[in-house]
Amino acid sequence: MAFSASLSSLLILLCLFVSLFFCNALPAPHYHRRIATQNYRDALSKSILYFEGQRSGKLPPNQRLSWRRNSGLSDGSAMRVDLVGGYYDAGDNVKFGFPMAFTTTMLSWSVIEFGGLMKGELQNAREAIRWATDYLLKATVYPDTIYVQVGDANADHACWERPEDMDTPRSVFKVDKNTPGTEVAAETAAALAAASLVFRRSDPSYSRLLVTRAIRVFEFADKYRGSYSNGLRKDVCPFYCSFSGYEDELLWGAAWLHRATKNPSYLNYIQVNGQTLGADESDNTFGWDNKHVGARILLSKSFLVQKVESLRDYKGHADNFICSLIPGASFSQAQYTPGGLLYKMSDSNMQYVTSTSFLLLTYAKYLTSAHKFVTCGGIIITPKKLRTIAKKQVDYLLGENPLRMSYMVGYGTRYPERIHHRGSSLPSVAAHPAKIPCSSGFSVMNSAAPNPNILIGAVVGGPDLHDHFPDQRSDYEQSEPATYINAPLVGSLAYLAHSFGQL
């Protein structure tokens, strides 16, 4: 009788579990019966518009942030190569190829996963990606060579001047066979491969050009191995040193080429080299430097959705990342502010908030498609739970926090007014046509006056561990926006705007 009763109880529990699981495995519900506390559609539009404020080069007739003007029109001339265009990475006037490539990869991934929900913003997102890929094609025009930086970063940071006034050296730095840069080369390959998927239907010939170049660039990255932080240390450090090594970028680049080409050679490369390249390491911070977590999530799709059995382990690797985020779960490593914001580090913490939120929503999508879930010790984490966590992070960013402040410039009624950004803080060319010399701008940088030019959509580094935010221009760790903060947020906002019936 005891055995029979136990069996009955077990069957009841199993039925309840199956019922719960399949409810959560259904496609993401629309939340239109609930009222959204945030205007995700407005935030989405602004998050994409921000990239127009970061443009370098000759601006197009349809430029919407009209306080910006042409800049860097002779970039590359020092090396007799055309390097006009691309993006300034943050609040300075240097074009750093490593974070620019990562920005491009994440903007592309946002569109690949959630572009179908973007409606009118899809074309704006494509244009933001193309502004970057046009530049990356120029930077990779010669075989076995990548131009990875334009501008002397030390000289640039000694000035506070508008990009339109730049008079600091526009030095050009490259990696090649003799000075390898595997991480920046592999990330550039990932960016080109991911972007090729974005343009596959809308511009097939451009898509083919991107993927062909991605293949060549990845071969160079893999064949000539070495960190660009060694060969170009005095030029790229401490700004964008690679601390995580280049193994993560090789795995990430191969994962994107596998997805873009379906060529079995990349699957074989991942199978043979995955462990060596750190597939199962417990580094759970995803950003411009370390791509391991992104590669795990990306490759988990091949197992979950495409049923590639040889990549089964990546589901486990991805689950370990999820478990690291869940308070109270075994292997939990995450730290949160009292107000509930994921906190990784003091410098530009919001980049980890936006990248993690995007991964949660993307992994939830893959799990839902495969009718799977995550188990953290004895805790079952459903796709719905992942979406809830991601939404809470995005909502905090948009104003649901102890300060009731939006950390996206131009969104909501209260947002940072003194962001660490040269072009935004100095008078525009239209308002002040005369040149503002290098050192003259520091009087503005150190003032308490609000920035005269609103860099709409810019997301700043964010509050500290205690939810404090001083809104001081000199505080670059908290007040500086960056392209790689915004790029993954685009995808998350598209998903949330659609879920709440705003798109």
Query: Nearest Cα to 107, choosing from 83, 84, 129?
Result: 129
Query: Nearest Cα to 292, choosing from 249, 262, 340, 255?
Result: 249
Q: Catalytic: which of 187, 289, 471, 498?
A: 471
Query: Nearest Cα to 150, choosing from 59, 87, 76, 260?
Result: 76
Quick one: which H or E segment has residue 248?
Answer: helix 247-261
8 Å CB contact between 442 and 160 = yes
Phi, psi of 418 (to 5 degrees): -125, 55
Q: Is 471 a catalytic residue?
A: yes
8 Å CB contact between 100 and 86 = yes
CA 195/CA 187 separation, integer angstroms? 12
Phi, psi of 148 (to 5 degrees): -110, -5
8 Å CB contact between 438 and 404 = no
CA 145/CA 309 separation, integer angstroms? 36
Give Rg (Cα) of the chain: 23
Q: Is 432 a catalytic residue?
A: no
Q: Catalytic: which of 317, 420, 421, 498?
A: 420
Burial of 399 by CB count in 10 Å (0-12 exposed, 13-18 middle, 19+ buried)? buried
Q: Is 187 a catalytic residue?
A: no
Q: Output the CA–CA distances (angstroms, integers) from residue 52 to 43, 348, 433, in the order listed.
A: 15, 21, 21
Q: Does a cis peptide bond (omega within 30 degrees of 0) precede residue 238?
A: yes
CA 108/CA 487 separation, integer angstroms? 8
Q: Catalytic: which of 235, 319, 480, 498?
A: 480
Catalytic residues: 420, 471, 480
